[in-house]
Structure 1
């Protein structure tokens, strides 16, 4: 059986726009980890999928620890349930090891030794500066040197361990305030993370799983074999000739009618290999949204289950204008269709939209 991009997109939309769970943690559990180096992204992801979610609800879930935020897969910040976090950590320990080895060039110790020492040091909340100082002390004690070449590299290695979760020291969870970190103990397995990916984003090719996780293809293949033995997987050939695998109890495909305002780095883009993102958007539109020069992503506009533009609510004031931009030769979003998405945006960011404009981009 051969699947089209529309088939694959419909099956993925069923995971990404499921029935609402009873609370924020249940909703995050259903849609999977949310990329969060932009702090407001989890708030926006929940509002787009579960309109009516409020800023206070999401903040409370962070505060009580039912959802957590940390640098995990691909070395990027993600928000997940506390239960899923250890699976992401297991992936991070494998996927980021080569990078750590290359940056640290350890001769008398192992990266695992540093990670264990960092976990012990971060058994209580630690600031970025404290973690960085700990890294320098550890290098001097165990390697007899401290030659981290740049401040940026040193700061990343100080807090980039996949077992640390963060919270804001000042400001709130939707802002970009300074963080502090603590180790969250847990055990996880790579195949559990692959199962999480399929449950949240499937069907997926091995390339999709590798891109999302930061793992090499051989590691992904081994995890898929282990998962096949445990739960049994179903597969189909995609329009690109790749094999797409899924869980046997996958939900039926669905359409998502109307307009949704997605966050930067939304899963409809970031959960898939770049070549596989065309299940949701045209390749030229994806290139417009993702600026390779600085790694920034414009917040996508979703219309009838397709990414057809972007939006922006510039500034930090509580009252601000909203601009919605749609790409030429796609369906223009009607102003009335934006009533619910705008209300969802206002509720989850605690802002008031003062003016709405809809613009076409050639």
Structure 2
């Protein structure tokens, strides 16, 4: 019998909402990685999965290097354990280096030399301006025809979006803020292969279609097939006529009969092909949550294992109101059900929620 969206959701929930392994570093490693170009997402995501996780605990894990943050797969920002970040860096090398070579109009071999020079330069923490000046100087000597491409459009991110650097706040310890960062070279924990990339995704998001893995990692389907060739996997038919692969001995599916306040870019959406996220959200709800024009996602509301709304706690004040929006024709979250997730949000962000309102939206 073919897998259903509900089957896939239950299996993914078992990986994304596991038993608490104890430390922040172990929690991050257990769920794989968190997409965090919105810096607060790591705090909110951990609080949603492991209620009671505090702002101080996450900050300390970042400061100690037990978890790291930087631009990796798809050119987006992710937080992961050093072991997992090493795997994300390999996916980035495969998925992004050819793109950057085309942007600059140089060979991939020459691009690899540029990356090596950036890593050597960033052995000391560097600002974005310092990194850009280093790239401009290198290109002026080695590939002057690429200077214009490096200055405009995506080229502005050339110096730090290739998976070999990590970032931290330039001043203070406001890891949940969007302040200016500095970048340093990431010390990999060892070699990584495409098989490691696929294994990482299946361990933390599976079962997955090949398209899911390709989208999440930002790599072509042929690279996914190469990774699968190095793995022992099980395969079953599933929705949309796609085959879904998984690791043997995966945890049994679980239900999540409660309410969670998830962060922007949560893995329940961003871990999968953007055109096939039905395991957690209907296409109509997904369109409401995801702004295709700027790539932003509203922070989702999870009710009984389904994404059926969103929430806002706008501003940066330590005291702020919370508005929860649920979509018509889905189950309305009760005020009493929001007590635990609101407390988890308060602990994770170090804020006080002054008022909670629940409103309905017709989609």
**TM-score normalised by the shorter chain: which range applies?**
over 0.9
Superposition pairs for residues 3-42 of structure 1, below 5 Å? 3-42=3-42
Among residues 225, 228, 233, which one is paired with 2:229 in the alignment? Answer: 225
Cα deviation, 1:277-316, whole Å, max 9, x if unaligned, reads 1011111000000011121110000000000000000111
**Conserved 8 A contact 1:44-1:348:** yes
1:153 Cα offset (Å): 3.2
Cα deviation, 1:78-121, whole Å, max 9, x if unaligned, reads 00001111111111011002220121112696111101111111
Deviates more, 1:167-176 or 1:58-67: 167-176
**Conserved 8 A contact 1:194-1:223:** yes
* 1:211 counterpart residue number: 215
1:327 Cα offset (Å): 0.1
Indicate whether 1:168 and 2:136 are aligned: no
Secondary structure of the residue that 1:83 maps to in structure 2? helix
Q: Which runs of 4+ in 1 moved over 6 A?
A: none
* 2:117 counterpart residue number: 117
Superposition pairs for residues 125-140 of structure 1, below 5 Å? 125-140=125-140
Inter-partner Cα distance in structure 2 for 1:182 and 1:193: 23
Superposition pairs for residues 125-274 of structure 1, below 5 Å? 125-145=125-145, 146-148=147-149, 150-171=151-172, 172-186=174-188, 187-227=191-231, 232-274=232-274
Q: RMSD of aligned C-alpha atoms?
A: 1.3
**Conserved 8 A contact 1:108-1:142:** no
**Conserved 8 A contact 2:98-2:108:** no
1:360 Cα offset (Å): 0.2
Secondary structure of the residue that 1:165 maps to in structure 2? strand
1:332 Cα offset (Å): 0.2
Inter-partner Cα distance in structure 2 for 1:151 and 1:55: 37
1:188 Cα offset (Å): 1.6
Give the aligned length: 358
Secondary structure of the residue that 2:240 maps to in structure 1? coil
* 1:315 counterpart residue number: 315
Inter-partner Cα distance in structure 2 for 1:313 and 1:281: 22
1:155 Cα offset (Å): 2.9
Secondary structure of the residue that 1:275 maps to in structure 2? coil
Inter-partner Cα distance in structure 2 for 1:354 and 1:144: 56
Secondary structure of the residue that 1:215 maps to in structure 2? coil
Superposition pairs for residues 88-107 of structure 1, below 5 Å? 88-106=88-106
**Conserved 8 A contact 2:104-2:150:** no
The two structures have a TM-score, normalised by structure 1, of 0.96
Cα deviation, 1:251-299, whole Å, max 9, x if unaligned, reads 0000011100000000000000123310111110000000111211100
Cα deviation, 1:216-265, whole Å, max 9, x if unaligned, reads 001101111111xxxx2111110221110111020000001110000000
* 1:284 counterpart residue number: 284
Q: Tell me: CA distance 1:281–1:142, structure 2 relative to 1, closer, same or farther (3 Å).
A: same
**Conserved 8 A contact 1:3-1:239:** yes
The two structures have a TM-score, normalised by structure 2, of 0.96
1:65 Cα offset (Å): 0.5
Cα deviation, 1:16-44, whole Å, max 9, x if unaligned, reads 00001110010011111100100000101
Secondary structure of the residue that 1:249 maps to in structure 2? coil
Cα deviation, 1:110-149, whole Å, max 9, x if unaligned, reads 1111011111111111111110000000001112342236
Inter-partner Cα distance in structure 2 for 1:329 and 1:205: 29
